[in-house]
C-alpha cells in the first residue's frame, strides 16, 4: 500500500533523487530522449507524486541544469589548477567536455530542447534561467582569467553554446551541413573560442 504522508525531510530527499536521476539520464541519452516516466520509475514513486514536485518536465529540466552548474564550475577550476595543462589546453579540454557532454556526464540543451523550454517556461522562470545562465558563463570567464564584463559574457555565452548545439544538430537539425566534418567543425570552433579568450586576456593585462 503506497505511503500517504511524507515528512519535509523525506520530500527533500525524493526531490534531490529526482534531480540527480534526471541529470544522469539527460547527460547519457539527451534531454529529448529522457522521459518523466523513466525518472519517477527509477526513483520509485508514482507519476502523480512526481508532479507534486515538478509541475512540468521543463521545470525539472531547469532545476537539473541548475544542479549541474556548480559541478561545471568545479570541473573548470580543476582543469585550470592542473599543472600538467597549459591555459589553452585547460580551456579547450573544458569546451570539448561540454560539446561531448554525453561522454562526460554533462547535460546540454539541443536546439529543439531550447525551443521547447522557451515555449513552456513562464516569463519569470525564463528570466531567472537567463540570469543564472549568464552568471554561469561569467563565472567561467573569471576562472579562465578573463574579465567578465557584460559584452564578454554575452559573447562567450553565444559562441560556447553555438559549438555545443552544432555538435548535436548535425545532421538531424542541420541537414545541409556535412556530417563527416562535424567533429572537425566543433574542433575549429573550440580553437576559435580559445583564440578569442586569449585575446581578451591579453587586452586585460595590457598596460
User: How many other CB atoms are found less than 10 A from the CB of residue 86?
Assistant: 10
C-alpha Rg value of the chain to the nearest Å: 19
Domain limits, the chain: 57-205
For residue 30, is it left (φ>0), alpha (ψ between -120 and 50) or beta?
Answer: left
SS3 state at 71: helix
Q: Which three cell numbers stand for residue 191?
A: 580553437
Per residue, the 3-state secondary structure of 114-167, as one string, reads HHHHHHHCCHHHHHHHHHHHHHHHHHHHHHCCCCCCHHHHHHHHHHHHHHHHHH
pTM for this prediction: 0.90
Model pLDDT, residue 203: 79
User: Which residue ranges of the chain lie beneath pLDDT 70?
Assistant: 1-4, 204-207
How far is it, in rounded angstroms, from Cα 138 to Cα 162? Answer: 17
Q: Which three cell numbers stand for residue 2?
A: 503506497
Model pLDDT, residue 191: 98
Model pLDDT, residue 102: 86
Model pLDDT, residue 40: 96
- The arrangement of secondary structure in 57-205, i.e. its CATH architecture, is Orthogonal Bundle (1.10)
Amino acid at each position: 500500500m503506497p505511503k500517504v504522508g511524507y515528512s519535509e525531510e523525506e520530500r527533500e530527499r525524493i526531490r534531490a533523487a529526482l534531480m540527480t536521476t534526471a541529470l544522469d539520464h539527460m547527460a547519457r541519452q539527451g534531454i529529448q530522449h529522457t522521459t518523466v516516466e523513466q525518472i519517477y520509475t527509477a526513483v520509485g514513486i508514482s507519476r502523480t507524486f512526481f508532479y507534486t514536485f515538478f509541475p512540468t518536465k521543463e521545470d525539472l529540466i531547469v532545476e537539473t541544469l541548475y544542479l549541474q552548474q556548480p559541478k561545471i564550475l568545479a570541473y573548470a577550476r580543476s582543469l585550470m589548477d592542473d599543472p600538467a595543462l597549459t591555459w589553452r589546453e585547460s580551456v579547450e579540454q573544458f569546451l570539448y567536455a561540454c560539446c561531448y557532454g554525453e561522454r562526460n556526464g554533462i547535460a546540454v540543451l539541443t536546439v529543439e530542447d531550447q525551443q521547447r523550454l522557451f515555449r513552456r517556461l513562464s516569463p519569470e522562470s525564463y528570466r531567472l534561467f537567463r540570469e543564472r545562465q549568464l552568471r554561469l558563463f561569467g563565472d567561467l570567464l573569471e576562472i579562465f582569467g578573463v574579465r567578465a564584463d557584460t559584452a564578454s559574457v554575452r559573447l562567450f555565452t553565444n559562441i560556447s553554446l553555438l559549438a555545443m548545439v552544432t555538435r548535436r544538430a548535425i545532421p538531424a537539425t542541420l541537414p545541409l551541413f556535412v556530417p563527416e566534418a562535424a567533429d572537425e567543425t566543433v574542433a575549429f570552433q573550440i580553437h576559435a573560442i580559445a583564440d578569442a579568450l586569449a585575446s581578451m586576456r591579453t587586452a586585460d593585462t595590457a598596460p
